[in-house]
Amino acid sequence: MLTSTNHIQLNSNAVERGYRSCRGAVRRYFKPQLWASVNLPREQRRALDAILFNLMRTLDLLDLESADGRSLDVWFEVRDDLSDAFRGKCTSVELAALVDASRRFNVPKQFIFDPLRGADLWIRNQKFQTFAELESFCSYVGGSSLVSAMPILGVTKPGFEVLAIDCGKAIMLTQLLANCVNDIKRNKTFLAQDDISQCELDIPRLKLRRPSPSLVHFVRLYASRIEKMFFRAKHLAEYLDFDGNRTLKSLLAIHWQMLLKMQLTPETILEDQGVLNRHERLALKSRHLLGLERDIPICLAAKSNHLH
Q: What is the pLDDT of residues 229-280, one digit of tens each?
A: 999 888 999 999 999 999 999 999 999 999 999 999 999 999 998 999 999 9
Are 134 and 37 within one domain?
A: no
**Is residue 203 domain-resident?**
yes
Taken as a whole, the chain contains a residue count of 308
pLDDT of residue 174: 98
pLDDT of residue 7: 85
Are 131 and 262 within one domain?
A: yes
DSSP 3-state of 21: helix
Are 256 and 164 within one domain?
A: yes
| End-to-end Cα, the chain, rounded Å | 49
Taking the CA atoms of 282, 36, 120 and 201 in sequence, report the sign of the dihedral they define.
negative
User: Each residue of 212-231: pLDDT tens digit?
Assistant: 999 999 999 999 999 999 99
**Is residue 116 domain-resident?**
no
User: Each residue of 163-213: pLDDT tens digit?
Assistant: 999 999 999 999 999 999 999 999 899 999 999 999 999 999 999 999 999
> Which domain, by its residues, includes 214?
127-308
Are 90 and 134 within one domain?
A: no
Q: List the CATH number of the domain containing 25.
A: 1.10.600.10
Are 141 and 90 within one domain?
A: no
**Is residue 119 domain-resident?**
no
Are 160 and 308 within one domain?
A: yes
pLDDT of residue 254: 95
Are 176 and 297 within one domain?
A: yes
Are 154 and 302 within one domain?
A: yes
**Pick the residue with more confidence: 9 or 133?**
133
**Is residue 293 domain-resident?**
yes
Identify which of 232, 220, 233 has the alpha carbon closest to the alpha carbon of residue 259: 220
User: Each residue of 114-165: pLDDT tens digit?
Assistant: 999 999 999 988 999 999 999 999 999 999 999 999 999 999 999 999 999 9
Identify which of 153, 160, 123 has the alpha carbon closest to the alpha carbon of residue 141: 123
Residue 306, pLDDT above cutoff 60:
no
Distance CA 7, CA 4 (A): 8
**Is residue 115 domain-resident?**
no
Count the domains in the chain.
Answer: 2
Supply the pTM of this predicted model.
0.92
Are 134 and 175 within one domain?
A: yes
**Is residue 40 domain-resident?**
yes
Are 69 and 149 within one domain?
A: no
Are 201 and 85 within one domain?
A: no
Are 169 and 279 within one domain?
A: yes
3-7, 45-49, 84-88, 290-294 — which is least confidently predicted? 3-7
Residue 302, pLDDT above cutoff 90:
no
